[in-house]
Amino acid sequence: MNVERWGWYSILVNVVLAGLHAVIAAASGSLAVAAELVHNLVDLLTAVAVLAGLKIAARKSTAFPYGLYKVENLVAAGLAIMVFVSAWEIVRQALSATPAPVRTDAWMLAVLLATAATPLAFSRFELRAGRAANSPALIADAREYRVHVFTTGLAFLALLAQWLRFPLDRIAALLIVVAVVKTGWDLLRDAMRVLLDASLDARTLDAIRETIHADPAVTEILWITGRNAGRFCFVEAGVALRVVDSNRTEAVVRRIEAAVRAEVPHVERVLLHVEAPASPYLRCALPLADPAGTLSPHFGKAPWFALVSVRRADGAVGERVILTNPHGGEARAKGIRVAEWLVAQKVDLVLTREDLKEKGPAYVLHDAGVELHQTDRGTVAEALAQLRKRSTHKGANYGFDLTTLHCRAKPRIAWGRAIMQVVVNNDRHNATEHPKSGAAGRRLFPSAGQCRHPTARPVRM
């Protein structure tokens, strides 16, 4: 989008409008038309200032490492001040100028109609160009042209009323002031928000937050902020990543930056602060042969997966859910698809009986920073106990005991969104929602103290 070209177009339109209004003001002696002429001259000067601001904003300078993008907003603020000056000039003439006779002819009315239609058409195209380029100066200029449609229309009505012997010239001039002041205030408010580093709007921040969280290596977004500078925006965020290797971290950061730039237009810089995971839980995934907790000998073909949250501090088991494997019936590459699905579930650790070394799923999990451990145990509890004996995962000891935490109720499987819900006697009070997956799933093996339903019974795995 050639923003500078639209600046030249604006100057040309203002020159034409100012020339036509000058001729009508001199021939008619109308104060309303003279006020509109002042309005045109102010806009002509500000159009020149906009063009200069756009040129300066495009320059790169080592003295201004964050760019000169706010020059556009300074120009928009200057435009607002010019609008206030023109409004004051209109008020002064309407209240203190000596009354003079107003002359009206048909050609004057025809020219005023043309000068009202011209800024209306031009503002539509300029506003579209300004939004496409995210240029506050062009958007401000287009809005000012729309005010011209209203004020020129008032001048037309003033001359028409004079032709019909109803002197409304001064009243029309004062009405023009109201529209002019309103536009000036809007321009000044928007410009000052950017100059004072106001935050990006909530919709843009939400889009950036969703884009960052969608990356498989991100475990948590700790904070996010952003600001505008001219037509560009700057984004900063604190994220927790699974990966610890510096090279892989750098690759993840570049990937997130590219994703944010693709999602949000006109992003000049994305600054990510990589911090230690703040979540107190480690999320483990285990392939199941049945909902009772028996581990499946297969990874991709496993009909269910258990997701168990383990507290990092003491190894206590938190949230537990069973999810159906949405890719178990795939004819090809089911293991890779399952690995990608587990990554999307924000899993930190996968325990499986199948050897996945040098296979596709292992590479997918490795690239996302997910730890992969092979186990020869047959149940969830035995596999987690084996992990405790190894007692090494990212430098921490995750010893824990689930022998008193397992019970099972007779299940009824309800399929929805590729998730298995286990309902006890049509009572869904045991259903829960995992804070990370956002999926409704049955509490997997709740503690014995939580099993209050008469059909529930403790089981050993």
Can you give the residue ranges of every domain in the chain? Answer: 3-195, 202-275, 281-458
- In this predicted structure, the answer to whether residue 445 has a pLDDT above a threshold of 60 is no
Backbone angles phi, psi at 264, to 5 degrees: -115, 125
Architecture of the CATH domain 3-195: Up-down Bundle (1.20)
Provide the pLDDT for residue 232: 77
Let me know if domain 202-275 sits in CATH 3.30.70.1350: yes
The pair of three-digit structure tokens given for residue 449, joined into one six-digit string: 């103290």
- Which of the four pLDDT bands, split at 50, 70 and 90, describes residue 305? very high
- Of the candidate ranges 253-267, 369-383, 429-443, the one whose mean pLDDT is the lowest: 429-443
Q: What is the pLDDT of residue 198?
A: 74
Between CA 102 and CA 112 the distance in angstroms is 15
Share of the chain above pLDDT 90, in %: 15
**Token digits for 177?**
């002031």
- Using the 8-state DSSP alphabet, how is residue 303 labeled? S
E-state strands within 48-169: none
394 DSSP 8-state letter: T
Q: Tell me the C-alpha distance between 229 and 57, whole Å.
A: 10
Q: What is the pLDDT of residue 209?
A: 92
Segment among 58-62, 174-178, 433-437 with least mean pLDDT? 433-437
> pLDDT at residue 394 above 50?
no
The reported pLDDT for the residue numbered 177 is 78
Give the phi and the psi of residue 357 in degrees, each rounded to 5: -60, 135
10-24 mean pLDDT: 90
Q: Which CATH superfamily is domain 281-458 in?
A: Dinitrogenase iron-molybdenum cofactor biosynthesis domain (3.30.420.130)
pLDDT grade for 289, boundaries at 50, 70 and 90: very high
**Most confident of the ranges 69-73, 209-213, 384-388, 404-408:** 209-213
pLDDT exceeds 80 at position 10 = yes
pLDDT over 50 (residue 441): no
Per-residue pLDDT, averaged over 27-41, amounts to: 83
Residue 110 — very low, low, confident or very high, per pLDDT cuts 50/70/90?
A: very high
pLDDT of residue 461: 36
Residue 458 has pLDDT above 60, yes or no: no
Banded pLDDT at 74 (limits 50, 70, 90): confident
94 to each of 29, 34, 89, 134, 166, how far by Cα in Å?
Answer: 13, 10, 9, 38, 17
User: Is the pLDDT score of 164 beyond 70?
Assistant: yes
Question: Cβ distance 272 to 256 under 8 Å?
Answer: yes
The closest alpha carbon to 42, from 5, 2, 9, 89, belongs to 89
* Statement: residue 286 has pLDDT above 90: yes
Residue 155 has pLDDT above 80, yes or no: yes
Q: Which pLDDT tens digit goes with each residue over 316-368?
A: 777 889 999 999 888 888 999 999 999 888 888 999 999 998 899 999 898 88
Q: What angle do CA 223, 228, 234 make, to 5 degrees?
A: 50
- Report the percentage of the chain scoring pLDDT > 70: 76
CA angle 399, 402, 405 (to 5 degrees): 145
Would you state the pLDDT for residue 95? 82
Tens digits of per-residue pLDDT, 218-259? 888 888 998 877 667 889 998 888 766 677 788 888 899 999
Rounded Cα distance, 104 and 35, in Å: 16
Tokens found for residue 341: 């699905």
